[in-house]
Structure 1
């Protein structure tokens, strides 16, 4: 399956997002980046993204194509739009007809292939955005005189479990990838999907090319995982909330995880886990400005001294809270158990549960709840637990202040609280995580942006 050689080679895995591979002009930037460093041996592709405001991503066109096939509707127009996206890239580089013919055949065959069920069909259709872009990029690189080869995840033993549209990597994948030895050709590997043991295409959740890149970084024992996107770096705070926030030069894995949870969107919070497990450093860089140093995410908090007391501030307004007051709540054995049993009955998971002597707040991701469930949940809690007071709070946000330096400075919480109270922002909840590198603050949703701004000013201005 793999060519085995004995030469020791430094390996960088490089992943490019959809905007980086949207058209021929963006392809050229990718080619320049890949060819500028001989150690960039593995290139992970996303599906072509938007070329301009109002454009449609190829993945969304493929979902529409799949839906039309399932509903037995006319799909020729959608099919042509998908083909045209790849044709545009092939024409930009004046490729021969062979590549486009492969693309057309694979897209045509999708419409007539028999699948186990609709979920398997949808996964297969979605995966072809990355699949066909990897084939295209390999062809373009070879046409430009850069030796490259397309690697099908099936041939690499990239095995996934779980469900067709929400897959998990299987341990055998790492065993299979570890067998590969590199030659002088760039490996072009499609992101987002792999294969089940029975040969079916399985996809990760949206944004899964990041996950593929992290898995390959671990499996190939890479020296570095470069994740190219459309920003120069990860910033201390959202630039839509804080004007021109400072860039983060270096951060730890666990800082990235904490910040991803509360709204940092560079990575899905689980996307980086394989790289963490493989202890592979990650460098977030900009395809449109590749000489910028970007942000380094390093394997351990012990590998560097943080430059600032805090590293990042993130906020999310996707939360709701259930507030319960009951006198002598802390004395009642089994109180929390009763509450958890009700959550279990309704299939509800909670995010946090800070408590006091007579008070308890349960924080939920409100995107996973509807009004009917909330109403039934509150009614059952009233009947079972009989609280003195119960309130459901929809106007709730969580602010995460994260930094390795927090664990070594006793003044951080005081500075944060002062920055909020002095600006008339009420703090509903505060909790320092067990890791001691993050401080979680609950506020009203309407105050979240001001809270981030004031905390940023305190520590960075």
Structure 2
């Protein structure tokens, strides 16, 4: 049995739904389907989830945007009109939109979660109706098996153990197609709680693990994951296969084809993933799975880049003898809600690299001043315009001189490296460069390795 998930662009309109129906019918093993909300297309410039969140804000303000609500209904109606879905069946979907502003919610946060989750919820119901109209024995499934634990601060944490326990008893009947909405589950009070945006990938991975699927197919709008951002390198080479670890490293550093948190359930269940294209389903796609099953490990599998980083350099003689120095620094970072990404150090030096994207200039300067006052370093320097480049490849483990060969093209281009760090896994090398040099650095490495 296979679990398959379709992204928002794959379910944006009636034409895309027809492709999805054909993909499901082509393989009888594709029994568990996970839906996203309708996304963007050539004719639709806004995702339904964004429309629902805008509608939520209008309801919170006390002035519900009825025109926006009508536009959301039109999106589902246009899809339904492409198939033999009766007006009465469609009304069971659109009536739920009308009910959103009539319900009571414990907080504005949960109101937003309820509204946002309905993009996937209604799309799953609609897909089940469409499959039934095409003669496919399909059933919509409310994802009560996906469990969260709500905390006192109104945050919700995914509960993997409870989710797997519930999925262990879920009956999968032969020839039946089960349609689950992605992105959300339920807490201990049976209230809807959501993952972060893009969380339908996570739902699919959890179902693949819990139902012990043979494969998790993730259908998007690309035929394979590219070795590098196509906005930086035109027509980059596709990645045919990679390990879970490689995907984790690349997702962290900016690859956004697949939600990085969705890798974890797949790893736990040892379920291989295949990223495929809804518009070209016969393309092989990109296989992601255990490193032991890779037939060929390239020296470099992919290059990813993320900007908005800062590096705080601290120097103090005999720093290595101060057992409290690092603890006090991390406590200050916690006070400012800053989590560090890397922390290379020496006997007298320490650099902490962190994401500054959500910090204002004022907050950043206040944090630096607090470090200066609390730790009294001899030298303190902030470099706040850094890009992190991750060069990832399973084959680098056995590649002699890998670091030197990756850095050499940057020296040739006179690109200054602010920091270099090779992880303990030996499959990833992290390079820190000035943001303005990032594209040139990526191109230099790509041309050296792939051209």
TM-score category by the smaller chain? over 0.9
Q: Distance in 2 between matches of 1:276 and 1:386?
A: 44
Give the Å deviation of 1:24: 0.3
SS in structure 2 of the partner of residue 368 of structure 1:
coil
Shift of residue 14 of structure 1? Answer: 0.4
Structure 1, 223-232 or 103-112: larger mean CA deviation: 103-112
Name the CA distance, whole Å, in 1 between partners of 2:5 and 2:215. 11
Identify if the C-alpha distance between structure 1 residues 297 and 328 changes in structure 2 by more than 3 Å, giving closer, same or farther: same
Q: Confirm whether residue 181 of structure 1 aligns to residue 181 of structure 2.
A: no
Match of 1:308 in 2: 298
Partner of 1:192: 183
Q: Does 1:161 align with 2:158?
A: no
Q: Deviations over 1:253-277 (max 9, x none)?
A: 0100001111111122212211111
Residue 394 of structure 2 corresponds to which residue in structure 1? Answer: 404
2:201 to 190, 198, 210: 210
- Name the SS for the 1:103 alignment partner: helix
Question: Taking structure 1 as the reference length, what is the TM-score of the superposition?
Answer: 0.94
Matched, 1:375 2:362: no
- Tell me if the contact between 1:161 and 1:170 (Cα under 8 Å) persists in the aligned partners: no
Q: How far has the Cα of 1:449 moved from its partner?
A: 1.1
TM-score by length of 2: 0.96
Return 5+ residue gaps in structure 1 as ranges. Answer: 1-10
Report if the CA contact (8 A) 1:178-1:219 is conserved.
yes
2:272 equivalent in structure 1: 281
Contact in 2 for aligned 1:251/1:306 (Cα 8 Å)? no
Among 302, 306, 309, the residue aligned to 1:319: 309
Q: Which residue of 1 aligns with 2:251?
A: 260
Residues 280-333 of structure 1, C-alpha deviations (whole Å, 9 max, x = no match):
0000000011110000001x2122243411111111112111122333433444
Verify: 1:239 aligned to 2:230, yes or no. Answer: yes
- Cα-to-partner distance string for 1:205-253 (whole Å, 9 max, x where unaligned): 1001000000000011000000000011011111111121111111000
CA shift digits 1:380-423 (9 cap, x unpaired): 22222222221211121111011111111121101011111111
Structure 2 unmatched runs, 5+? none
Aligned equivalent of 1:222: 213
Q: Does 1:359 align with 2:384?
A: no
CA deviation profile, 1:3-46 (whole Å, cap 9, x unmatched) = xxxxxxxx100000000000100000101101000000011000
Aligned to 1:109: 99
CA shift for structure 1 position 75: 2.3
- Given the superposition, is the C-alpha separation of residues 358 and 54 from structure 1 closer, same or farther in structure 2, using an over 3 Å criterion? farther
Contact kept, 8 Å, 2:340 with 2:354, in 1: the verdict is yes
**Equivalent residue for 1:31?**
21
Matched residue pairs, number? 448
Secondary structure at 2:369's aligned position in 1? helix
1:95-126 per-position Cα deviation (integer Å, ceiling 9, x unaligned):
21122110121111111111112112111111
The answer as to whether partners of 2:396 and 2:402 remain within 8 angstroms in 1 is: yes
Give RMSD over aligned pairs.
1.6
Cα offset, 1:179, TM superposition: 1.3
What is aligned with 1:385?
A: 375
Say if 2:420 and 2:431, in contact at 8 Å, map to a contact too. Answer: yes
Distance 2:409 2:121 in 1: 49
Q: Report how far residue 166 of structure 1 moved.
A: 5.4
Query: SS state of the match for residue 49, structure 1?
Result: coil
Distance 1:417 1:81, change over 3 A: same
**8 Å contact kept, 1:214–1:271:** yes
Q: Which moved more, 1:75-84 or 1:281-290?
A: 75-84
Q: Secondary structure at 1:264's aligned position in 2?
A: coil
Displacement of 1:168: 1.3
> Secondary structure in 1 aligned to 2:119?
helix
Secondary structure at the aligned position of 2:357 is classed as helix
Aligned partners of 2:33 and 2:323: how far apart in 1?
56
Q: CA deviation at 1:165?
A: 7.0
